[in-house]
Structure 1
Amino acid sequence: MKLKYPIIILSLLFSVYGCSKVEYTKIDNPAYLRVFNNLNYKITLGNKDQEQPFLTMLIDPVTDASGMPLSAAITGDFLDKRDPYAPPYPSHAGSSNSYKNPEYPGKENVLVGPVLNGFDLSSWAQIPAGKHRIMFMYRPMNNTPFFSLEERLKKKVLVDTLIELGSREVYTLHILQKNYKTKETGMLLRQENFHKQALSDSMVYVNFYNMSAEGFAEAPNDKKDDNYEAGYLAKGIKDEMNIWFSSFTKDDLRNAIPGFYHRFLMTVRRNNTSAAVSPYFSFPLFADPKSNRIHTTAWQRFNLMAPGMNPENNPYNDGNSETFNDYALITCYGNGTKPAFEGASCVLPNMIVNIHSGRNNPQSFATVNTIEIVNGSAYLTTVQRKYPTPIY
């Protein structure tokens, strides 16, 4: 089970049979790192020469004269393609359902981040601050640890570079396909700032990135994966898209919350090289005037449209089979559940977290969210402030 807080515990466990001492490694000057593998392609006859998008991360590796890694200060193994949803808690910690890890630290039993300025960083690993060599290696899709593989399988380098991590700074690292035609891959290290902003507990925040590969949207559709769950988003979007925001309650698509129907939000531009943080947009946790301000059934929908389009002149309906990359829908509904109106929309969990808390079952909590679009898929990462102490 993953350690929840970076407190150094030197405990004596006494029993009638004796005692033992448990020690945990301390990092005096940590940075906080979370890693996602965004290589979301499938290996088919059409791209059989590409490496499987299954990775090992090595921080400060020791290599032999040929450059083959022999050991590493930190190893993040079995790094699989990321899940569509990265929740505000380490959902994979301690899981033994599969050897595959959808993020780092994920299942890794490592020292994780604290509650920093009110935000729970237990999904980030502690890494010593400073300069590091970092390597990402392709590896076979099996459960053999990387350093136990045959030598010939430990030589397939995806990334080998240097990074510098600031003390007590929060970072998200992405492995990406940079160019769809050439299959160039690389990484992007973003220094997050949500924990440094004066964010309100009564507001929900979201920002957007389009980190798709250059040329993905323009490529022939028959060359792309059949990602039906992504709806219109599956074949990609234009390099520049405007985003409109709507909020509804329950299962009702006919009556939006007053003031929150097709509200212009921002313009998102495709960029997989810049590490700049996108600005956050906010909306009230209890925007629905009918809520009791303890729990809300509100959920979110985003219309992505090419410049020149808007929700009033949208020529594409849910029955269209081709939108020419001009239009896409992202719906954030429920807590991991899917609504009845699937098909055209890419469906992700609600940005409002609803859980049992004290006397309230459920209670709604505000969050800070990031939606990242990568080659026909959308990914939601949610961060939450520390839950208040339940009142019974």
Structure 2
Amino acid sequence: MTKIMHLLAACALLWGFSSCSKVEYTEIEKPAYLRVFNDLNLKIGLENKDEDRPYLCMLIDPEINKDGVPVSAALKGDYLDQRDPYAPPYPSHIGSSTRKNNPEYPGKENVLVGPVLNGFDLSGWAQVPSGKHRVVFYYRPMNDIPFFDLEPAVRSKKVVDTVIDLGVQEVYTMHVLQSNFVTQEKGIVLRTENFHKLPLSDSLVYINFYNYSADGFWQADINLKKNQYTSGVMQYGVRDEMNIWLSLCKPGGVKTIPGYRFAYLGQLRRNTGNQVSPYYSFPLFADSASNHIVTDIWQRITLLAPGIDPEQNPYPDYYAVTDGGYGLVACYGNGSPQDFQRGALYLPGMIVNIHSGNYNPRSFATVNTIEIVNGNAYLTTIQRKYAPPVY
């Protein structure tokens, strides 16, 4: 029985009790695929208590009345909250009858999403018409009122107003962010992804890095920055140029896999342009003791200013480093902090372990992106299609 038949059967059973809720979708010809994150992780305190909270509504091709107030739009992404630390490889935010507090777009929006494209699951991306579009982000209050039902004066506070050009079946990731920490100027990054066009191996885990921090953030006085203790030594930012070192470890401590202790990957430079960063890789089954069905290794990423040897790191990792010379990310389990790795910012592991075929679990390689924004780091994981479980 297909998913559609299941849905019709469920509606028939419920007909005597209530009407079957239906969402009408309009087919999009020649779509592009768009995913949007709100990266405005700003500190709101006594010194800037009157500043608008970074809670947004995105309008694509808005209709503006004579008073400069938006009254409708071709597409709307409402209740766009600050992003979550982890964007998983499946739509995890669907289903809420109350205020949505969307950690991304499409997130909880009932819109057409992307297909499996060249083996990659694009269900985290929304389908949007290709071509040129005006995109405007507005501040909105943190309440349950839909954007166009707000008072005109309330729905007129623009954050960013720009024009984008989307190619047919291209995959885009958009970020709304602070481009300058001193002037508080806001902007967007529209990145054209290329992971679905590359000859990537199923036996390798891929990762690339971006530093989208605002210009002047790491140099600014620490009292002007948001206290982010969960970011560990990276909470006050990293320098505009850092070296990336990867260690692959076994659970229960920092026991590295032979050959993967501080493996040099490359350089990370602060850049708020639209360029795509190169992917680095490591073997899915780097642990020679694994059975090549499931693995439990985790990933430790060390960021150090150029010229610093990771084996002779001068920074203790148990207090906040304020000069931007050190950052530490531990991709471990589900992202819960562990006592053995002090000073780290914790994110979930990059290897997906899931019931597939006759194996429960089975390990799968993924494609990952880590983005650093003003003392925080975020992980997006993309997964290939895998065999369904056999029960």
Please give the range of the TM-score, normalised by the shorter of the 2 chains: over 0.9
Provide the residue aligned with 2:215 in structure 1: 214
Which region of structure 1 is more displaced relative to structure 2, 350-359 or 286-295? 350-359
Query: Residues 28 and 235 from structure 1, CA distance in 2 versus in 1: closer, same or farther, beyond 3 angstroms?
Result: same
1:49-84 deviation per Cα after TM superposition (whole angstroms, max 9, x unaligned): 321101000011111112210001111000000000
**TM-score, normalised via structure 2 length:** 0.93
* Distance in 2, Cα, partners of 1:201 & 1:37: 31
* Distance in 2, Cα, partners of 1:53 & 1:41: 7
Which region of structure 1 is more displaced relative to structure 2, 232-241 or 316-325? 316-325
CA contact (8 A) 2:25 2:111 kept: no
Query: Residues 63 and 311 from structure 1, CA distance in 2 versus in 1: closer, same or farther, beyond 3 angstroms?
Result: same
Provide the residue aligned with 1:140 in structure 2: 141
Provide the residue aligned with 2:315 in structure 1: 316
Across the aligned residues of Structure 1 and Structure 2, the Cα RMSD in angstroms comes to 2.3
Equivalences for 1:285-324 in 2 at 5 Å?
A: 285-324=284-323
Provide the residue aligned with 1:370 in structure 2: 369
Equivalences for 1:129-278 in 2 at 5 Å?
A: 129-253=130-254, 255-272=255-272, 274-278=273-277
Provide the residue aligned with 1:357 in structure 2: 356
Q: Secondary structure of 1:283's match?
A: strand
Which residue identity lines up with residue 381 of structure 2 in the other structure?
T
* Distance in 2, Cα, partners of 1:212 & 1:90: 26
1:210-256 deviation per Cα after TM superposition (whole angstroms, max 9, x unaligned): 00000000001111111000001100011000010000011131x31
Query: Residues 314 and 22 from structure 1, CA distance in 2 versus in 1: closer, same or farther, beyond 3 angstroms?
Result: closer
Equivalences for 1:67-146 in 2 at 5 Å?
A: 67-96=68-97, 98-146=99-147
* Distance in 2, Cα, partners of 1:145 & 1:197: 40
* Distance in 1, Cα, partners of 2:26 & 2:9: 16
* Distance in 1, Cα, partners of 2:120 & 2:60: 26
* Distance in 2, Cα, partners of 1:204 & 1:387: 15
Query: Residues 14 and 179 from structure 1, CA distance in 2 versus in 1: closer, same or farther, beyond 3 angstroms?
Result: closer
* Distance in 1, Cα, partners of 2:352 & 2:381: 9
* Distance in 1, Cα, partners of 2:243 & 2:138: 36
Q: Secondary structure of 2:235's match?
A: helix
* Aligned-pair CA distance for 1:359: 2.9
> Percent identity of the aligned residues?
59
1:110-151 deviation per Cα after TM superposition (whole angstroms, max 9, x unaligned): 000000000000010000111111110011111111101011
* Distance in 1, Cα, partners of 2:317 & 2:10: 61
* Aligned-pair CA distance for 1:336: 3.8
* Distance in 2, Cα, partners of 1:140 & 1:297: 43
Which residue identity lines up with residue 287 of structure 1 in the other structure?
A
1:286-305 deviation per Cα after TM superposition (whole angstroms, max 9, x unaligned): 00001111111100001100
Q: Secondary structure of 2:172's match?
A: strand
Which residue identity lines up with residue 271 of structure 1 in the other structure?
N
* Distance in 2, Cα, partners of 1:321 & 1:65: 51
* Aligned-pair CA distance for 1:28: 1.3
* Aligned-pair CA distance for 1:48: 2.0
CA contact (8 A) 1:11 1:23 kept: no
Figure out how many residues of one structure are paired with residues of the other and give that number. Answer: 384
Provide the residue aligned with 1:339 in structure 2: 338
Query: Residues 26 and 258 from structure 1, CA distance in 2 versus in 1: closer, same or farther, beyond 3 angstroms?
Result: same
Provide the residue aligned with 1:47 in structure 2: 48
* Distance in 1, Cα, partners of 2:67 & 2:10: 47
* Aligned-pair CA distance for 1:346: 0.5
* Distance in 2, Cα, partners of 1:149 & 1:22: 24
Provide the residue aligned with 1:279 in structure 2: 278
Which residue identity lines up with residue 174 of structure 1 in the other structure?
H
Query: Residues 159 and 322 from structure 1, CA distance in 2 versus in 1: closer, same or farther, beyond 3 angstroms?
Result: closer
* Aligned-pair CA distance for 1:13: 9.2
Q: Secondary structure of 1:235's match?
A: coil
CA contact (8 A) 2:235 2:320 kept: no
* Distance in 1, Cα, partners of 2:111 & 2:319: 47
Which residue identity lines up with residue 333 of structure 1 in the other structure?
Y
Which residue identity lines up with residue 29 of structure 2 in the other structure?
D
Which residue identity lines up with residue 212 of structure 1 in the other structure?
S
* Distance in 1, Cα, partners of 2:98 & 2:9: 32
* Aligned-pair CA distance for 1:324: 1.6
Provide the residue aligned with 1:379 in structure 2: 378
1:87-117 deviation per Cα after TM superposition (whole angstroms, max 9, x unaligned): 0001001145752110000000100000000
Which region of structure 1 is more displaced relative to structure 2, 10-19 or 74-83? 10-19
* Aligned-pair CA distance for 1:11: 7.8
* Distance in 2, Cα, partners of 1:306 & 1:91: 36
Which residue identity lines up with residue 228 of structure 1 in the other structure?
Y
Which residue identity lines up with residue 248 of structure 1 in the other structure?
C
Which residue identity lines up with residue 375 of structure 1 in the other structure?
N
Q: Secondary structure of 2:253's match?
A: coil
CA contact (8 A) 2:351 2:363 kept: yes
Q: Secondary structure of 1:154's match?
A: helix
* Distance in 1, Cα, partners of 2:10 & 2:250: 51
1:268-313 deviation per Cα after TM superposition (whole angstroms, max 9, x unaligned): 00011x1010000000000000111111110000110001112122
* Distance in 1, Cα, partners of 2:102 & 2:94: 10
Which residue identity lines up with residue 259 of structure 1 in the other structure?
G
**TM-score, normalised via structure 1 length:** 0.93
